[in-house]
């Protein structure tokens, strides 16, 4: 049979290129002091931390096991793996936890966090030499594959819903179509498909007729069943109408009735042999707006003589979720696909990189209305900006993702950071650090009206959910109730943070319902930093409830 070439498959994908024969990463990866665990692609990393990290503001959540939003180097210093002189550390990703405990160790006070979706541990250089990667074991019998496959990358915790769009055109032909199916068998085996982990379905793109949905997400949940279904899939031929197939996938495939799960990232992986016969751009825009992460896998690119037949040579970049090389993949030939199985699965199981998924981390606009009155002072004003930066680092800020904005107010208002001022997280963080202190009076009500009109007005009809966070240290000279009510009526969820002399009645008047979870108070400005997890978790809770 052409279909099950599993012994060859296991031999090739079990080779871990970045590691030598002793299980040691050939070259440690140099990272910055503030590199987070969530920035790492893959399940393990040998990282090289620089010296003098303690001189920076390091964010660390937990003790022993650290939330993925923690600084890797900060966690390593806190755990005693390295000192402030820097050094090599082994990071291992683990599942999310409840109750990350705060402790003071080695010059770093880690923070408490009630829960987070993913974590990591750190170990010393000595532990690196003892790494033993589990291997993938398989037999020639597909009925045994499910219980014998052990995933080297820990993808059993990969919770995603995936639609594979197969190329069923005359471009690919019967033989390569069979190789395409064989490639997907290997991907399915490595993913360890199941109801608690990744789910997969298949759509075949074909000529002028409607695309054929071959398998929905909930048709089968066992790898062996999916493999048999793939084997029975017939080659249909015709033109490569990938755009039409993608549009159909967006509109009809990812429904709750068809097995799509609430809160799980949704992925469409498109295979194209040669080039598409129709336009993909309109369908890709629809996919992005629907929160679907589109990956484009091209095989056997068109040769020079064929390029005149391609509608748009940049079709892959335009169709992918984001043109950043993560969502596009070039495979030279269907006869050399084995070595591409594991890298593709790693990408599909990296939720931090799935920028088109609609989550509370990449689909929110968070506006900060900050008190610049004379009672605050420059030092405390810097602590407010530090609080905003800490909140911002939890989000996937990009041109397609979440946005951070700042309006400073006294008697007047000033747009310090607009939602459209930047397209990357680094740009946003730099803009926040450079906000100058105004000094003056306190007119919070007028400031809310200004923020609703000028900060949120241009994005009000966009796909992101809107939040306004008010930070003040005193009594407003004007009414805050009517402006806050108008903001909430416009669809903006409001949080109120009071410091020092801020009256409770103003905070409650501004906060959305339920009031007790949308307003906070601290005696000192340095207490704001401890409230970062409360705000991040609160926004996530509001986002999920709205969904």
Residues 353 and 369: beta-carbon distance below 8 Å: no
User: Does a structural domain hold residue 16?
Assistant: no
**pLDDT at res. 514:** 94
Q: What is the mean pLDDT of residues 240-249?
A: 81
Please tell me the least confidently modeled range out of 161-175, 209-223, 245-259: 209-223
Percentage of residues in the chain having pLDDT higher than 70? 84
Is residue 246 domain-shared with residue 329, that is, in the same domain?
yes
- CATH number for 121: 2.170.130.20
Which DSSP state fits 530?
G
Same domain, 268 and 321: yes
Q: Are residues 185 and 298 in the same domain?
A: yes
In a domain, 508, yes or no: yes
- Whether 423 and 334 map to the same domain: the answer is no
**Sequence-distant (≥ 6) Cβ neighbours of residue 173 within 8 angstroms:** none
**Which among 21-30, 267-276, 388-397 has the top mean pLDDT?**
388-397
Q: What is the pLDDT of residue 154?
A: 39
The answer to whether the peptide bond before residue 300 is cis (omega within 30 degrees of 0) is no
**Cα dist. 294→34, 198, 243, 246, 270 in Å?**
30, 16, 12, 9, 7
Alpha carbon distance 484, 444 (integer Å): 10
In a domain, 265, yes or no: yes
Polymer length of the chain: 547
For 132-170, what is the HEC assignment?
CCCCCCCCCCHHHHHHHCCCCCCHHHCCCEEEEEEECCC
Question: DSSP label at 85?
Answer: T
For the chain, what is the largest distance between any 2 Cα atoms, rounded to a whole number of angstroms?
A: 81
Give a yes or no: residue 249 inside a domain.
yes
Average predicted confidence (pLDDT) for the chain:
82
Distance CA 328, CA 256 (A): 28
Phi/psi of residue 450, each to 5°?
-65, -45
Confidence bin at 146 (pLDDT 50/70/90): very low
- Mean pLDDT calculated for residue range 467-492: 95
What pTM does this model have?
A: 0.51
| 15 within some domain | no
Q: 317 and 386 share a domain?
A: no
Same domain, 346 and 418: no
The span from the CA of 194 to the CA of 180, in Å, is 22
Judge if 211 and 334 occupy the same domain.
yes
Place of tokens 């906000």: 435
Residue 533 to residues 60, 218, 420, 529, 540, Cα–Cα distance (Å): 12, 36, 26, 9, 11
Mean pLDDT lowest among 48-62, 145-159, 260-274: 145-159
Q: How many Cβ atoms are within 10 Å of 498's Cβ, its own excluded? A: 24
Q: Is residue 171 included in any domain, yes or no?
A: yes
Over residues 190-225, the pLDDT tens digits come to 888 877 789 999 988 654 456 778 888 888 877 788
Mark whether 182 and 235 lie in a shared domain.
yes
Res. 246 pLDDT band, cuts 50 70 90: confident
Domain boundary at 108, 126, 144, which?
Answer: 126
Cα separations (Å) of 225 from 1, 185, 218, 267, 270? Answer: 17, 11, 12, 21, 22
Q: Are 226 and 255 in contact (CB under 8 A)?
A: no
| 335/371 same-domain check | no
Q: Give the residue from 105, 126, 147 where a domain finishes.
A: 126
Range of the domain at 85: 29-126
Q: Which among 330, 353, 376 is the end of a domain?
A: 353
In this predicted structure, what is the pLDDT of residue 262?
A: 74
Q: How many domains does the chain have?
A: 3
d(CA 309, CA 314): 13
Q: Do 191 and 316 lie in a common domain?
A: yes
Q: Is residue 155 part of a domain?
A: no
Closest CA to 198 of 274, 269, 111: 269
- In terms of domains, do 107 and 165 share one? no
**High-pLDDT (> 90) share of the chain, %:** 37
Q: Evaluate whether residue 277 is within a structural domain.
A: yes
* pLDDT at res. 351: 76
408 and 470 co-located in one domain:
yes
Expressed in angstroms, the distance from the first to the final Cα of the chain is 47
Q: How far apart are CA 423 and CA 6, in angstroms?
A: 44
User: In which band, very low, low, confident or very high, does the pLDDT at 183 lie, cut at 50, 70 and 90?
Assistant: very high
Strand pairing report for 161-167 and 113-123: unpaired
- The CATH number for 388's domain is 3.40.50.410
């Amino acid at each position: 049979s052409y279909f099950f070439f599993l012994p060859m498959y296991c031999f090739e994908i079990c080779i871990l290129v970045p590691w030598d024969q002793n299980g040691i990463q050939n070259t440690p990866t140099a990272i910055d002091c503030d590199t987070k665990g969530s920035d790492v692609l893959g399940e393990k990393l040998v990282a090289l931390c620089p010296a003098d990290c303690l001189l920076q503001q390091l964010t660390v959540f937990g003790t022993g096991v650290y939330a993925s939003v923690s600084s890797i180097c900060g966690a390593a210093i806190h755990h005693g793996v390295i000192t402030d002189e820097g050094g090599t550390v082994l990071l291992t990703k683990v599942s999310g936890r409840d109750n990350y405990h705060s402790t003071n160790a080695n010059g770093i006070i880690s923070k408490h966090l009630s829960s987070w979706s993913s974590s990591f541990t750190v170990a010393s250089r000595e532990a690196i030499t003892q790494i033993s990667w589990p291997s993938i074991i398989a037999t020639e019998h597909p009925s045994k594959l499910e219980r014998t496959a052990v995933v080297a990358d820990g993808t059993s915790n990969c919770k995603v819903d995936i639609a594979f769009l197969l190329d069923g055109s005359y471009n690919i032909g019967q033989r390569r179509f069979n190789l395409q199916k064989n490639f997907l068998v290997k991907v399915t085996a490595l993913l360890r498909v199941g109801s608690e982990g990744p789910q997969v379905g298949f759509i075949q793109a074909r000529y002028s007729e409607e695309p054929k949905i071959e398998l929905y997400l909930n048709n089968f949940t066992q790898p062996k069943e999916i493999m048999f279904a793939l084997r029975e899939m017939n080659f249909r031929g015709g033109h490569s109408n990938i755009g039409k197939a993608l549009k159909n996938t967006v509109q009809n495939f990812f429904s709750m009735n068809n097995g799509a799960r609430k809160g799980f990232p949704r992925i469409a992986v498109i295979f194209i042999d040669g080039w598409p016969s129709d336009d993909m751009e309109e369908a890709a825009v629809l996919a992005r707006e629907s929160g679907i992460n589109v990956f484009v896998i091209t095989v056997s690119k068109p040769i020079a003589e064929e390029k005149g037949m391609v509608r748009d040579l940049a079709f892959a970049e335009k169709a992918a979720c984001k043109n950043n090389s993560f969502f596009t993949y070039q495979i030279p030939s269907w006869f050399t696909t084995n070595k591409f199985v594991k890298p593709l699965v790693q990408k599909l199981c990296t939720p931090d990189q799935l920028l088109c998924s609609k989550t509370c981390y990449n689909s929110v606009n968070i506006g900060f209305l900050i008190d610049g009155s004379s009672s605050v002072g420059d030092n405390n004003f810097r602590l407010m900006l530090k609080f905003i930066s800490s909140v911002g680092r939890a989000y996937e800020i990009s041109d397609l993702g979440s946005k951070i904005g700042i309006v400073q107010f006294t008697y007047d208002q000033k747009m310090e950071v607009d939602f459209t001022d930047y397209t990357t997280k680094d740009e946003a963080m730099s803009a926040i650090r450079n906000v100058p202190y105004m000094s003056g009076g306190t007119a919070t009500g007028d400031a809310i009206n200004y923020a609703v009109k000028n900060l949120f007005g241009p994005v009000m009809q966009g796909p992101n959910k809107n939040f306004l966070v008010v930070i003040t240290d005193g009594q407003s000279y004007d009414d805050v109730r009517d402006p806050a009510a108008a903001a909430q009526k416009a669809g903006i969820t409001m949080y109120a943070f009071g410091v020092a002399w801020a009256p409770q009645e103003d905070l409650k008047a501004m906060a959305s319902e339920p009031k007790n979870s949308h307003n906070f108070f601290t005696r000192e400005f340095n207490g704001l930093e401890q409230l970062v997890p409360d705000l991040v978790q609160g926004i996530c809770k509001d986002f999920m409830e709205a969904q």
